[in-house]
Every structure is written in C-alpha cells, then in structure tokens.
Amino acid sequence: MPLVKIPHIDKANAMQLVHMQTPPEIHRLLDTPYKVLQEKITQYQENGFVKVEQVLSPRLLDHVRKIIGAAVLLRKESDQRRLAEKSQYEQSFLQCGYLCWEFSAVKDIVFSRRLAGIARDLMGVNSIRLWHDQALYKEPGGRITDMHQDISYWPMHTPNTTTIWIALDDVPVERGCLYFLPGTHQIGLEEYVDIFRSPHIPERLRDIPQVDLPLKAGDATFHSGLTFHGARANQTDRMREAMTIIYFEDGTRFDASDARNATHKSCDGLTNGEKIETRYTPVLI
C-alpha cells in the first residue's frame, strides 16, 4: 500500500486516467478564453501577483483534479517513506515536474490556451512559451514552503515569466496557501535562496508584509518569477492539491552564466545567449 494517498483517485484507474483521450467538451473548455479584467492586470503589474477567480469551471475542475491527482499518485507511489523520514525540503511538498511530457491527458491541460491566454494578458506580451509544469501537493502535516524568488532558479536573460498556481481543492491558510511580498518584483534579482539546504528570509525583505491568498477550488494565483513568495504549512488532515504551469515571454534568451541552473531540462542543448526554443518550451499562444 503506497503511503501517498490521493483520496478521490482510484489507483486501479490512475494509468487509464492519465492516458485517456480528452473529451471534446473538455477540449472546448480548455480553449475557451477567460476575460481578464483590467483591474486584475493592474494589480498584477503593481504587486507582482494577483488572484484570479474560477479559472476552472466546475466541470473543468473535476476533470483536471482527477487527471493531476492520478499523475501525482503514479509518480509517488513507490516512495514508501513517511513524512518524518523525508528531507526538510521534501516535507514542504510532493513535487512532480514535467508531467505533461509523460502523460498525454496532462499535456492537454498544460497546453491550455485558456490558461496561457490569462498569463499572456497579465504579462502584457504578444506570445508566451511553456517553461515547465509542476504539481505541488502538500501532505497533511507538511511544513512551510520557504520564501524564495523563482527566477533565481532559472537560467534566463531579462526574464519576463509568470506562474499560475491552481487550487484543485479549497486551499485556506491552514492548508498551505501561498503568500506574497507585494512589489518585490520591482527590485530585480535580489538573492538566490537555497530552499533545498539553507532557507532564510533575505535581510532586505524582513519588514515587507506577507499577503496570504487563500483560494477556493478552481481559483488561481499568478505571480512573476521576480516576486518573493512562500506557502504556509498544512495544518489539516487533508492533502493540499495544487497544479502549476510556468510561462515565459517568447524571445527570452538562455543564460549559462550560473552553472547551478544551466543544466535545466528545458534548455537542453542551448548555448549562452541563444533564444530558448526547445522541444520542451513550445509556444502556447
């Protein structure tokens, strides 16, 4: 019996779910544009993050939650460790990246023009590419996700990125919602915070208020790769279920100056200064 349990997923059907042919109705919903209000665009540009309500309709949410839950279960079923036996970093979340390249049903979700369209509008660009997808489930009792700045992990020159963080179930503060430091996207690349080994809050940021953004199932946040953020601990007895997709502006170039990040899978085969145009980073919209 695997220790990782996704209550609403029948393990016997998980493989069938992740490789199922997406129903035409779901394809239509994934391609239906979401009207982004100007006030949301303004909030995003001023604060570096924004909450967008009900990016997934109830029918779409039901489908996405099943598919992503099945993918996480399959990825993690062989891990027999209890939470206390895992590293501090692993206690923060069950991290499952590049799911779309392994499971066809996940690919249809990650390549969604509906979600990519919101990202494009918030970023204020003409076209965006996929960086990568990542499910981030937090187990009951899971610790905080330490504060960090995403872009410090990614090898990009003059980056313009955004991450959608979708709540697949209700995510109140006590289940591990995200928090953000407003306006920190305007300070540029501040500091690489190694949340794997030495998590900490940069001194310059200690007095900036942390803004919690609890979500209802189907809601999402978007945040710039430059915005400092983290997540609360999961103090409940239910899994926190979240799916993320990271987008970047088409035309962004590869930065190989930091050997720590230059081996990123999405930049396979690139040399310093080349446009990031690989098989893992297709144009989405």
Residues 168-220: tens digit of each pLDDT: 999 999 999 999 999 999 987 656 667 667 777 777 778 899 999 999 999 99
pLDDT confidence band for 113 (50 / 70 / 90): very high
Torsion sign (Cα): 171, 229, 261, 186 = positive
Count other Cβ atoms within 10 Å, centred on residue 142.
Answer: 25
The first and second tokens of residue 175, run together, are 């289940």
Task: Give every CB contact of residue 1 below 8 A, 6+ residues apart in sequence.
Answer: none
How far is the C-alpha of 104 from the C-alpha of 85, rounded, in Å? Answer: 32
Question: To the nearest whole percent, how much of the chain has pLDDT over 70?
Answer: 95
**15 is a domain residue:** no
**102 is a domain residue:** no
* pLDDT at residue number 1: 43
**42 is a domain residue:** no
**38 is a domain residue:** no
Residues 44-86: tens digit of each pLDDT: 999 999 999 999 999 999 999 999 999 999 999 889 899 999 9
Tokens 């999402």: give the residue: 220
**50 is a domain residue:** no
pTM for the predicted model, two decimal places: 0.94
The first and second tokens of residue 107, run together, are 């690919």
Of the listed ranges 4-13, 40-49, 100-109, 125-134, the least confidently predicted one is 4-13
How far is the C-alpha of 253 from the C-alpha of 255, rounded, in Å? Answer: 6
**74 is a domain residue:** no
**3 is a domain residue:** no
CATH number at residue 241: 2.60.120.620
**272 is a domain residue:** no
Please return the burial class of 248, using the count of CB atoms within 10 Å of its CB with bins 0-12, 13-18 and 19+: buried
* pLDDT at residue number 200: 73
3-class secondary structure, 163: strand
How far is the C-alpha of 164 from the C-alpha of 224, rounded, in Å? Answer: 9
How far is the C-alpha of 207 from the C-alpha of 182, rounded, in Å? Answer: 12
Number of domains in the chain: 1
Mean pLDDT taken over the chain:
92
The first and second tokens of residue 138, run together, are 């937090």
Angle between the N-to-C axes of helices 11-18 and 58-76, in degrees from 0 to 180, rounded to the nearest 10: 110
Query: Can you give the residue range of the structural domain that contains 236?
Result: 113-267
- Length of the chain counted residue by residue: 285
- Per 3-state DSSP, the chain is made up of helix, strand and coil in percentages (nearest 5) of 30, 20, 50
Question: What is the pairing mode between strands 161-167 and 242-249?
Answer: antiparallel
Residues 130-174: tens digit of each pLDDT: 999 999 999 999 999 988 999 888 999 888 999 999 999 999 999
